[in-house]
Amino acid sequence: MGTKKMPPKKKNPMRQCAGCGERREKKELIRIIRTPEGEVQVDFTGKKNGRGAYICNSVDCLKLAQKKKSLERSLKITIPESIYQELAKEMGSKNEDG
Ligand SMILES: [Zn+2]
């Protein structure tokens, strides 16, 4: 015995941003999912069920993704305007200049 292979060390999972296309750690990205019911949701916990796409926590990336429709393409669903607004609100909330 003792010939069991050790599982490979887990690396931080990397995901590609739908906006700028850079790969980042999953935890640095915001997840957008398509639920099994065919709804689009912003998944701030990263734990919801569904097909997911990722984007940097950046309004610039959001605008790029919207322009390129890359979220739509990767989720294969139309993203309602309200989702973009929700994301923009979330991304912009930390650097408001009131
Ligand atoms: Zn990005």
Ligand 1 centroid to Cα of residue 31, in Å, is 12
Listed in sequence order, the residues at least 6 apart from 26 whose beta carbon sits closer than 8 Å to its beta carbon are: 12, 13, 14, 15, 46, 54
Ligand 1 centroid to Cα of residue 6, in Å, is 35
pLDDT in tens, 27-86: 899 999 999 999 999 998 888 999 999 999 999 999 999 999 999 999 999 999 999 999
Query: Around ion ligand 1, which residues have CB less than 5 A away?
Result: 17, 19-20, 56, 61
Q: Which of 94, 36, 67, 21 is nearest to 84 (CA)?
A: 67
- Distance CA(53)–CA(43), nearest Å, equals 10
The whole-number pLDDT of residue 54 equals 97
Q: Cβ distance 32 to 55 under 8 Å?
A: yes
> What is the arithmetic mean of pLDDT over 11-21?
93
The whole-number pLDDT of residue 7 equals 75
Which two tokens mark 82?
A: 């309200």
Its CATH architecture, for the domain 14-81, is 2-Layer Sandwich (3.30)
